[in-house]
Amino acid sequence: MSDSLAKITVSLPDNTSREYNKGVTPYEVALDIGEGLAKASLAAEVNGTLVDLSIPIEADASCKLLTVRDDESLDLIRHDTAHVLAEAAKELWPDIQVTIGPVIKDGFYYDFAREAPFTPEDLVALEDRMREIVDRDEPITREVWGRQEALEFFASIGESYKAEIVRDLSEDEVLTVYKQGKFVDLCRGPHLPSTGKLGTAFKLTRIAGAYWRGDSQNEMLQRVYGTAWASEKDLRSYLDRLEEAARRDHRRLGNEMDLFHIQEEATGSVFWHDQGWTLFRLIETYMRRRLEGNGYSEVKTPTLIDRSLWERSGHWDKFREHMFTAASEDRVLALKPMNCPGHVQIFRQGLKSYRDLPLRMAEFGACHRNEPSGALHGLMRVRAFTQDDAHIFCTEDQVNSETARFCELLLGIYKDFGFDDVIVKFADRPEVRAGTDETWQKAESALKHALDQTGLEYEVNPGEGAFYGPKLEFVLRDALGRDWQCGTLQVDFVLPERLEATYVGEDGSKHRPVMLHRAILGSFERFIGILIEHFGGRFPTWLAPTQAVVATITEAADDHAGTVHKALVSAGIRATLDVRNETVNYKIREHALKKVPVIVVVGSREAEDGTVSLRWRGEKKQEILALDQAVDKLSALSMAPA
C-alpha cells in the first residue's frame, strides 16, 4: 500500500473513531461528520494541540473540532481580530508598519509604527474597514517560508520590525506566515479558515503608547487596544462591565468621596484626606486585632538600611533597579522595598530555642519601590506603600500546621471584607532564583504537601515563585468578576541561610529556621483601591469612614440634632452633624454622593417626638424610630466583624 493510501484512526470526543487516509485534514473530518459541523468549525485540537483546519493529520490522533461555542475558540477569534485590525491599518495608511499583535485578557492589541498619532476618529475608520474585511470573507492561508525569503519579503515592503523579528528567531524555528487578501503577517498561528468566521462582535477601545519590545530605550509605538467576543450579546455584556468599572474607578470615587489624591510633586505617593485616612486606620485596626488574636507580635523596622544588608540578602542583585537609594558619609543606603531582611535581624537578636518557634512577626511596613512612572495607576500601583507583611520562623515540621493556620486566617479576613470567591495558585521555581535546585525541591515539596493538607483546591502557576522560594497566591474575585492577586505565602530556606538565622534545637545544636513570608492584603493602598471598586464606594457600615450624618430640615431642629449626634458618637458611631442653612434635599444629595450609609433626618416633628427619620443609602423609604432604638440599630450595624 502506498503511503498516500495508508489508513489512520481519528478518535473523536464522543468516544467514537473514524478511519481516514493519512493526511486527512480536520476540515475533511468535520465535512465527513456533517456539512453543518464543517461550516461551524473554526479550528481543531489534534492530540491536544490547537491547529488550523487545513493541517494534515499524519498518524493516529485524537481530534476535537472547535466551534464558536467552545471556550478555546475565544482566543482564536481575538487573535484573528488583531490580524484584521492590522490589515485594516495597512489599507487605510499604506506606509504604516505593523509590529506585534497578541491576545490579552478580554481582548487584543496591535502595535503600530506611524508618524501621525492615532485619533478617536481613526479608531472609527479602522473599525469600519475591519467590518468590510469581515464581509469580504477572505480565506486565511498558512505558508512555511525560508528565513531568507521572509527577510527579503518584509524588507521589500518596508516592514523593518517584522524583519527584525525574523532575524532574532532561532535557526531551527519553523517560520510561518499567514495571508488574508493582500495582507501577509508573520505568525505561528493557528487561525480561522477565513475572515468571515469572525462575525462583528468586536470593538476598538483605546489608544496608548508602547515601547518596541517593552524596552524604554527603543522607539515609541502606538498601541491600539480592542476586544472581541463570540457573540454580540457577550460583547454588549463586556462593554456594560467596562462602563460599570468606569463608574467604580477608585480614582474617580476617591475624588468624589474626598478620600485621597495624588499629585505630580509626589509621583506614586498618596495624599490621604481625613475620610481616606479613617478608612486606612479602620483596616489597620481590624488587621491588628486579627493578627494579635492569631499569635503575631507586631514589630517596626527601619525604612532606610545600608546596602550591605541588601547585598547579603540577595535583594541588591535582584531588586536594585527598583530601589531608591541615598548617600550619607560615604555609605549607600536604600529605602526598603520589603521587610524580610529587617525581620531576620530582629530574630537574630538573642538566642532562640525550638521552644520559641513558631515565632510570628508582623509589621505594617512603609516600603518604597521605584516603579516606572508609566506603570503607576492610582492606588493600584504606587511607589510608596504600607505592606501588610509578616514572617513566621518555624521548624520544618511546623510548615504544615502554620500553612493551614494562615489559610484559615486569610480566608476569614477576606470573607469579612466581602470576598467569598478566592482562587489559590501554587507558584513554583522561577528561571532567575536564589538557592540550589536541591533547596528548591525541598521547599516546593514542603509547601505542596502543606497545601494538600489544607484540602483547598488550587491551580499551578509554573515559574512564578519568588526568587527565594515557592509561594501560594491568593486571588480575589470582585463584584465585577475581575481577579486581584493579593495574599501570598512563601516557603524560604534561602534567606535564613544567607543572613545566618539560627535556633537551638532539642539536640542542643544550631539549626536554620524555615521562614514563611506571608501577606494577606498585600499593600493597604492597593487593597483599599480594590475595596473601593468592589463596593463602588458603598462600603458596609462597619467600614464606612462616616457611618451616619445627622441632617436638619429646619433651624428649629438644631438642638435635637445636636442631642442625636452626641448620642450616636457616644455609642461609638462615626457620625457628623449637618445644620447648614441648606434644603434637606440638597444635603441628602451631597451626602449620598459621598456614599454615607445612613442619613439621620431631623425636623420639627422629630424634635417634638424625640424621634429620628433614617434614610438608608439606596432606599427611598424612610424609617422613623425613637432615638434610643435608632442608636441601638446603628450600633449593631457599625461594629467591625468579630
> Which of the residues 222, 275, 387, 547 is marked catalytic?
387
394 is catalytic: no
Please compute, for residue 386, the number of CA atoms within 13 A of its CA located in the half-sphere on the CB side.
Answer: 16
261 is catalytic: no
Distance CA 561, CA 18 (A): 83
**Strand 598-602, strand 548-552: pairing:** parallel
Residues forming beta bridges with residue 228, ordered by sequence position? 202
List for the chain the helix, strand, coil content (%; round to 5). Answer: 40, 30, 30
Identify which of 303, 311, 292, 297 has the alpha carbon closest to the alpha carbon of residue 342: 303
> Which of the residues 80, 122, 389, 578 is marked catalytic?
389
Residues forming beta bridges with residue 385, ordered by sequence position? 367
Coil, strand, or helix at residue 602? strand
Distance CA 628, CA 568 (A): 9
Cα of 187 vs its chain's centroid, Å: 28
Give me 51's grid cell. Answer: 491547529
Q: What does each C-alpha distance from 98 to 88, 162, 507 come to in angstroms?
A: 11, 8, 67
> Which of the residues 391, 433, 518, 595 is marked catalytic?
391
Distance CA 437, CA 367 (A): 30
> Which of the residues 63, 340, 394, 486 is marked catalytic?
340
Q: 90 exposed, middle or buried (CB, 10 Å; 0-12, 13-18, 19+)?
A: buried
Return the amino acid letter for 502.
Answer: T
Greatest Cα pair distance in the chain: 105
389 is catalytic: yes
> Which of the residues 223, 369, 560, 591 is marked catalytic?
369
Please identify which residue in the block is written with the cell numbers 491536544: 48
517 is catalytic: yes
Coil, strand, or helix at residue 591? helix
> Which of the residues 336, 360, 471, 498 is marked catalytic?
471
391 is catalytic: yes
Q: List alpha helices for 510-618, DSSP H.
A: 524-535, 558-570, 584-593, 604-609
Identify which of 301, 320, 300, 324 has the alpha carbon closest to the alpha carbon of residue 310: 320
The length of the chain, given as a count of residues: 642
Identify which of 419, 315, 321 has the alpha carbon closest to the alpha carbon of residue 375: 321
Distance CA 217, CA 233 (A): 42
The DSSP secondary structure of 216-273, one letter per residue, reads: TTS-EEEEEEEEE-SSHHHHHHHHHHHHHHHHH-HHHHHHHTT-EE--GGGTT--EE-
Please identify which residue in the block is written with the cell numbers 424610630: 625
Residues near 516 by beta carbon (within 8 Å), at least 6 away in sequence: 391, 392, 393, 394, 399, 402, 403, 406, 489, 490, 491, 492
Identify which of 449, 404, 458, 403 has the alpha carbon closest to the alpha carbon of residue 426: 458
387 is catalytic: yes
Distance CA 354, CA 356 (A): 5
26: left (phi over 0), alpha (psi -120 to 50) or beta: alpha
> Which of the residues 129, 251, 517, 615 is marked catalytic?
517
Active-site residues, by number, are: 340, 369, 387, 389, 391, 471, 517
